[in-house]
Structure 1
């Protein structure tokens, strides 16, 4: 059934693995932003008050709850570059899953519940970020934003985890 050891594994996954998977996802967005000349890039893990920052990564009080990335402008700003930025998180999740799976398959990493949970949470985030829908706050998922960008129908480039700062915007509050 479901015992105390399962609860401990769940808490470990929720408070450690999920934020790592979120960081990987957001790093995928920032990777493509960097390639296409974005400036003032920042990754925010969680929300609430700032706990600490390291370079362009800021960790918030509720670090296990979602995350976002911010940037200003792009040197190369078109439908293709925007689509790759929106899909970047899912691409990085997929690559990380394939790397972990291949390392376990080749017995380089021991098969353990940690790696299964890593792959599970990576797939979970990848699936729901790609599912083409609007969230309750009206922001599109990454998949919906990519679709709209390809069709040149994306009016506001904000998604559930990407925030494009306006040139005069210096607000660092939790999005």
Structure 2
């Protein structure tokens, strides 16, 4: 039966563990972006209005719902590097699952509901990101983007949680900002 203690476990899982798992996933993408010379990198946790940021991490009002990472260019930009960027989040989730299980089996971490939920949500994010599909907004999952990239059919360098801004888009954004502040 679902009781009060289960509600507390659910709230902790949803508001603490899921954002941690999301951060690990996005860190995997950013790791490979950094490895391949990406510039102006940022991790966005959640959606809605910006609450605060530190380093290159931005926390949004609904921090427990989704996330994204952004970057502007890559020094090493080819099908192989792009595929690793798309799969990087899942690789980090998979690594965290194995790491937690290894630490529990070695007796370093205690078996607990927290770690069970951590592994559960890690598998959840891992599965949904690798499942080759398009989301309702038209963006591909990481798995679909990786497949399209390997087939040389993916040009936008975006997925459900990766945003790549081309230099032309950056310049247009800067020009709009200048126009807005100059009173034109």
Q: Give the TM-score normalised by structure 2.
A: 0.91
Task: Give 1:62's aligned residue.
Answer: 62
In 1, distance between residues paired with 2:137 and 2:52?
28
For residues 1-175 of structure 1, what are the structure 2 equivalents within 5 Å? 1-167=1-167, 168-169=169-170, 170=173
Task: Give 2:178's aligned residue.
Answer: none
Task: Give 2:179's aligned residue.
Answer: none
Cα deviation 1:55-75 (Å, max 9, x = unaligned):
000000000000000001101
1:51 deviates by: 1.1
In 2, distance between residues paired with 1:53 and 1:29?
19
Q: Secondary structure at the match of 2:17?
A: helix
Unmatched runs of 5 consecutive residues or more in structure 2:
175-184
1:105 deviates by: 1.1
1:107 deviates by: 1.1
Number of residues of Structure 1 aligned to a counterpart in Structure 2: 171
1:151 deviates by: 0.6
Q: RMSD across aligned C-alpha pairs, in angstroms?
A: 1.0
Unmatched runs of 5 consecutive residues or more in structure 1:
none
In 1, distance between residues paired with 2:121 and 2:63?
15
Rg larger in 1 or in 2? 2
